[in-house]
Amino acid sequence: MEYVQTVLVQIQADRIDEASRPGGLIADLDEHRAFLDQQHGFHDMRVTRSINAEGNVLLVVETRWADDESLVRYETGEPNMASIIGRHQDVIVRDSLQVLDMEALRAGAGRRVATPQAAAFERLVLPLMIPLGVLAFALLVVYGLSRVYLELDNPDAATGLAAGIAVGILLTAMYLASRPSVPGWQIAGIAVVAAAALSGGALFAVIDEDEGEAHDATPTATAEPTGTPADGGPGGALSMTMGDNFFEFEGEQKPTVPVTAGEETTIDLENAGLAIHNMRIAGTDDEYNTEDDFESEPGSFSGGDTGSITFQLDDPGTYNFRCDFHPADMTGQLEAQ
């Protein structure tokens, strides 16, 4: 179904040349087509005139629209056909302007015929650009969100962010699904806003991480090694420093710490960084968050906090440990002897 606006107006017989020259009425109508192409719901425009050899010339301007809402929006705004014709009162017959709104019983007869350039674009360029654009946007989503989540020290904050993003996607999908036709500029605007938010979040996360690493590289952030065993060897109280984002024992990052198998061992911990950290020793089968793993007390350390972790490794061997908040960067091993 299409909706048609038909505008009828008579041009004075002795002014037809003036109406046809550049800057005249017909030229203005042709230029108006570019404006119409940007309007939501616009399908086609056709300008015809009578071929009477004598007398006034009847000019007929027909535009076709996808729905009556789009047509009404165009008619009640400016510029429109009536306002353009109204600027050329000197060439038209007074009181000859008529505007008719009609409903087409058979849609499609007046649709625009694609130019060869447009047809080639639709056949060749669009099938290539659409999957590439979707792939690029998906990569941006994966990279941008992963960088942001890695920089969030509070798990609750990460959960809230994920929920907010999910709600935003749902509301956007509901808006698009509730409209029979969505203008291209709105879709492009949504994509630009989403890409800008993801890019900005990823850039902020990268800058924040670089600043943290630079802070750790300063003399104040890398204190003298504190990993000297007390009581003369493994099995006694040990000391370990946590920075952003590393464990440090006897000047070594990602350290291997010797302990005595079968004896209870305590490691004193100090968070010398700015982010939140903790320490967790893997349990059976090198698994974390199981009944037989060991977690530091308290469960998380803010910058400047101290605590400890007490454990007993019955069997000799190598045991992994990590920070739950930075599991990719903050790791180390215990060597039970």
- 54-67 pLDDT, tens digit per residue, is 789 999 999 999 99
* Residue 46: pLDDT over 80: yes
- For 246-286, give the DSSP string: EEEETTEES-EEEE-TTSEEEEEEEE-SSS-B--EE--GGG
Highest mean pLDDT among 45-54, 128-137, 291-300: 291-300
Higher pLDDT, 165 or 279: 279
pLDDT of residue 126: 64
Chain segment 221-234, per-residue pLDDT in tens: 443 444 444 343 44
* Residue 251: pLDDT over 80: yes
**At the topology level of CATH, where does 2-104 sit?**
Alpha-Beta Plaits (3.30.70)
User: DSSP state, 238?
Assistant: E
Alpha-carbon span 241 to 269, nearest angstrom: 6
Residue 84's Cβ-side half-sphere holds a number of Cα atoms within 13 Å equal to 25
Residue 138's Cβ-side half-sphere holds a number of Cα atoms within 13 Å equal to 6
Domain formed by 230-336, architecture: Sandwich (2.60)
Q: Which residues of 275-292 are buried (b: 16+ CB within 10 A; e: fewer)?
A: bbbbbbbbeeeeeeeeee
- Indicate the domain borders of the chain: 2-104, 136-217, 230-336
Q: Looking at 21-25, 79-83, 136-140, 328-332, which range is the least confident one?
A: 136-140
SS3 category, 74: helix
* Torsions phi, psi for 315 (to 5 deg): -105, 140
Whether the Cβ atoms of residue 96 and residue 59 lie closer than 8 Å to each other: no
Tell me the percentage of the chain whose pLDDT exceeds 90: 46
C-beta neighbour count of 141 within 10 angstroms: 14
In angstroms, the Cα distances linking 92 to 14, 88, 113, 274 are 10, 7, 31, 78
